[in-house]
Structure 1
Amino acid sequence: MSTSSSQEISGSSAVPHLDVDPFAMDFFADPYPTHELLREAGPVVYLDKWNVYGVARYAEVHAVLNDPATFCSSRGVGLADFAKETPWRPPSLILEADPPEHTRTRAVLSKVLSPTVMKGLRDRFAAAAEERVDALLEKRNFDAITDLAEAYPLSIFPDALGLKPEGRENLIPYASLVFNAFGPPNQLRNEAIARSAPHQAYVTEQCQRDSLTPGGIGACIHAHVGEGAITATEAPLLVRSLLSAGLDTTVNGIGAAVYCLARFPEQWQRLRNDFTLARNAFEEAVRFESPVQTFFRTTTREVELSGATIGEGEKVLMFLAAANRDPGRWDKPDSYDITRRTSGHVGYGSGIHMCVGQLVARLEGETMLAALARRIAKIEIMGEPQRRFNNTLRGLDSLPVRITPA
């Protein structure tokens, strides 16, 4: 991967053009050398492959995330520009919206996923985590992705949301589809959309008021229609937002945490000595592995960012994962340390568009890691982990492990 010699003179400084494809399979397999190249090339770069600007340092990623008036989401948070092309599905009222519309719909989700609601779910989530550990201790050898990172959230979150038991096997493929669709029209995106019809049909049906169990989070969203906060057509789209936001972030986050703790036994021992570190162990895994790797914004006006001038209507690709390991922001960024002060990481984004499912992810991650640490002495990786390739997400497809009871 090379920095091409052509330089674009913009404002006071040149924006380096890079011959880098952040949606290529070899990049997904090992993104870290490219992240370093992107950070070192300059605060703002231009990626010729897709004609987009890129930011990979923490300062610029944070600045873009926290200026939604200049770097908007309503034109799509993927490569597609909704001002120029039709979205592949009705846009998200949360992820792909700007204030004031975003402020109104986000307020509804903040109520149904409030810290008080999470407190009410804690005991149920903790009990489900203990049950999952019981099942894993019987097996001793298992796949930490299928049998743990996926199985645990799937055993509790759809219930909390109020989904019917049938058809839940569509949930993970649907979330994976949504995040693949943010990428360019490559094989991953094209194949995901081509086989998406059953997943989309299932999700559309599940989000309707009649499909949701009374008292669940989904029904609570629909209840806001009666109060006039949202319309009857908006309610199902808000439930839909939780189906992707509440699952994939958690599955990949728990998978990342188990992968980290298995690779760094001294950190596992630290957690076993102090269960109160469970939440931070999960948080540090989200910083270290960054389950959500990238997101786009579109400029609403000409803007100067760290000396580079970017015109109106330009796509800007934020490398969240590169920012989360920026040595300019983090001490020893490439080490996994469960006692690190993780606040400020951009693993869930930052600002008004911060991941709406983050409280769910944190609660599930914390309860699961605490349950594991209490009852398991050792986690060993027993085979080659397999990556699950996705245009936006970084996670594993398979992680064979063996556990030793405490």
Structure 2
Amino acid sequence: MTLIEGHKPITPAGGVAVWDVDPYDTEILRDPLEYYANLRAQGELTYIPRYSVLAVGRYEITRKVFSDHENFVSSRGVGLNDFKLEDPWRPPSIILEVDQPDHTRTRKVMSRALSPKVVKGFAELFQDTADRLVDDLLEKGTIEAVTDLAEAFPTTVFPKAVGMKDVNARHLVDYGAMVFNAVGPDNALRREAMRHAGEIVPWINAACARDRLSADGLGAMVYASADDGTLTEAEAGMLVRSFLSAGVDTTVTGIGNALWCLSQNPDQWDALKADPKFIRPAFEEVLRYTSPVHTFGRTAGRDTEIAGFPVEEGSKVICVLGAANMDPEKWGDPEVFRVDRKPVGHVAFGAGIHGCVGQNIARGELEAVLGALIRKVDRIEPAAEAVWRPNNAIRALDRLPITLIPN
């Protein structure tokens, strides 16, 4: 059998819309809103012949497929490659790319390590770091917000929370870009990201080893599960490495996207300053509005159906979370950014048993940053055009020049 991007080609059922589009085209990845709208307009289910995949983008059907772990499995990869047919470039994640019952075992360990109670214990670290960083940036005035704040904050606090003794901020950020680009096709973005694997992956593996972690961090909590027999030592190491995408890359993206939203919508920044209780809803709205994870895949684990259309076993389905989060049938006015929206049910952190396990710590970090900005900054003004960084799974900024005006 000849594979297409590592999975078997499929023949769509009669009546399924066929759309000749490349979802991983760099221009679409930089500015995806028209693509999102066109995907929803195709109908409940769309076949994309370029990659021989099915795609969903309307809110209700996307949430249903993405959370249906019984029919649409993660163990065969959340990208285009089918791990049943082709070996992945790295060992599959034992939390993201695993099914029940194994998922319950590893998820329990990660959920305990990243529980609200544990994250609350880092609140002082997060807030003190955010305050110092914002004070330093206010002295500069005009900053490049991606590197100066969005990357600088998580790569400072998260290694401390994990208990890492070795820190390389560039490797931490680039590792996330590599992991998420790898879920797409073998395009230029994936190849460029993977070009650094020979240097970054050995460093990540070494930095997450038990003897390179302190005894009082999140990493030690995970390795303790190897001591009590819940995990093997090797599995514990894999879960610690999973922290780095859960706690660094998605948080970098969330902070950068939040700064972009607030700089583009000064009235919403004013509303947030006037009533800081909107910090949490504001972050949820950032997630809905920008969908930091824009696309993740599933594989039909058996013959099943989507919206009444038969779907054969082995079919790859891309769930376009960004399109679902901008569906007017769900949100009414999705193109409007509102800090008071409270967008309960958005799928930016996934849905079902595979909802992002790192979301508590991501929220804790962003709340600290927004809290510091609210207390110290009067206005966040664009200093030049924002530049988005195309990525096969993440919608993140490459450059965001802004000026911070102090209170």
TM-score bracket, normalised by the shorter chain, equals: over 0.9
For structure 2, the 5+ residue unaligned runs are 1-10
- Identity across matched positions, percent: 46
> Which residue is 1:104 aligned to?
105
Aligned-partner residue type, residue 299 of structure 1: A
Aligned-partner residue type, residue 114 of structure 1: S
> Which residue is 1:379 aligned to?
380
Partner Cα separation in structure 1 for residue 167 and residue 54 of structure 2: 43
TM-aligned CA deviation for residue 321 of structure 1 = 0.3
For residues 148-163 of structure 1, the aligned pairs below 5 Å read: 148-163=149-164
Deviations 1:27-76 (A, max 9, x none): 11221111111101110000011000000001111101221010000000
> Which residue is 1:114 aligned to?
115
Partner Cα separation in structure 1 for residue 297 and residue 165 of structure 2: 34
> Which residue is 1:183 aligned to?
184
Q: CA RMSD in A?
A: 1.1
Aligned-partner residue type, residue 339 of structure 2: I
> Which residue is 1:346 aligned to?
347
Deviations 1:308-343 (A, max 9, x none): 111111000000000000011112011100000211
> Which residue is 2:31 aligned to?
30
Aligned-partner residue type, residue 184 of structure 2: G
Indicate whether 1:213 and 2:214 are aligned. Answer: yes
Q: Kindly report structure 1 stretches of 4+ aligned residues shifted beyond 4 Å.
A: none
> Which residue is 1:266 aligned to?
267
- Partner-residue secondary structure (3-state), 1:329: helix
- Partner-residue secondary structure (3-state), 2:69: coil
For residues 3-402 of structure 1, the aligned pairs below 5 Å read: 10=13, 14-402=15-403
Deviations 1:148-187 (A, max 9, x none): 1111111101110011244342100001000000000111
* Conserved 8 A contact 1:282-1:369: no
- Partner-residue secondary structure (3-state), 2:122: helix
Partner Cα separation in structure 2 for residue 381 and residue 345 of structure 1: 27
TM-aligned CA deviation for residue 19 of structure 1 = 0.6
- Partner-residue secondary structure (3-state), 1:404: strand
* Conserved 8 A contact 2:145-2:401: yes
Partner Cα separation in structure 2 for residue 403 and residue 76 of structure 1: 42
Aligned-partner residue type, residue 312 of structure 1: E
* Conserved 8 A contact 2:178-2:190: yes
Partner Cα separation in structure 2 for residue 169 and residue 188 of structure 1: 18
- Partner-residue secondary structure (3-state), 1:46: strand
* Conserved 8 A contact 2:166-2:212: no
**Cα 1:234/1:165, change in 2 over 3 Å:** closer
Partner Cα separation in structure 1 for residue 62 and residue 145 of structure 2: 32
* Conserved 8 A contact 2:166-2:207: no
* Conserved 8 A contact 2:12-2:311: no
Aligned-partner residue type, residue 156 of structure 1: V
Deviations 1:175-226 (A, max 9, x none): 1000000000111111211221111011111121111111110111001111
Aligned-partner residue type, residue 366 of structure 2: G
> Which residue is 1:3 aligned to?
none
TM-aligned CA deviation for residue 9 of structure 1 = 7.1
* Conserved 8 A contact 2:133-2:149: yes
Partner Cα separation in structure 1 for residue 277 and residue 210 of structure 2: 39
Aligned-partner residue type, residue 152 of structure 1: F
Partner Cα separation in structure 2 for residue 303 and residue 405 of structure 1: 57
* Conserved 8 A contact 2:225-2:231: yes
Aligned-partner residue type, residue 99 of structure 2: D
Partner Cα separation in structure 1 for residue 405 and residue 248 of structure 2: 28
Partner Cα separation in structure 1 for residue 67 and residue 193 of structure 2: 31
Partner Cα separation in structure 2 for residue 342 and residue 69 of structure 1: 27
Partner Cα separation in structure 2 for residue 320 and residue 211 of structure 1: 36
TM-aligned CA deviation for residue 275 of structure 1 = 1.1
Aligned-partner residue type, residue 158 of structure 1: P
* Conserved 8 A contact 1:162-1:217: yes
Deviations 1:329-386 (A, max 9, x none): 1120111000002110000101111111111111111111121011111111111212
Deviations 1:246-286 (A, max 9, x none): 11110100101110000000000000101111111111111
- Partner-residue secondary structure (3-state), 1:75: coil
Partner Cα separation in structure 2 for residue 216 and residue 234 of structure 1: 17
* Conserved 8 A contact 1:286-1:347: yes
TM-aligned CA deviation for residue 296 of structure 1 = 0.4
Question: TM-score scaled by structure 1?
Answer: 0.96
- Partner-residue secondary structure (3-state), 1:401: strand
* Conserved 8 A contact 2:30-2:389: no
- Partner-residue secondary structure (3-state), 1:172: helix
Partner Cα separation in structure 1 for residue 193 and residue 252 of structure 2: 19
> Which residue is 2:4 aligned to?
none
**Cα 1:400/1:168, change in 2 over 3 Å:** closer
Partner Cα separation in structure 1 for residue 148 and residue 350 of structure 2: 28
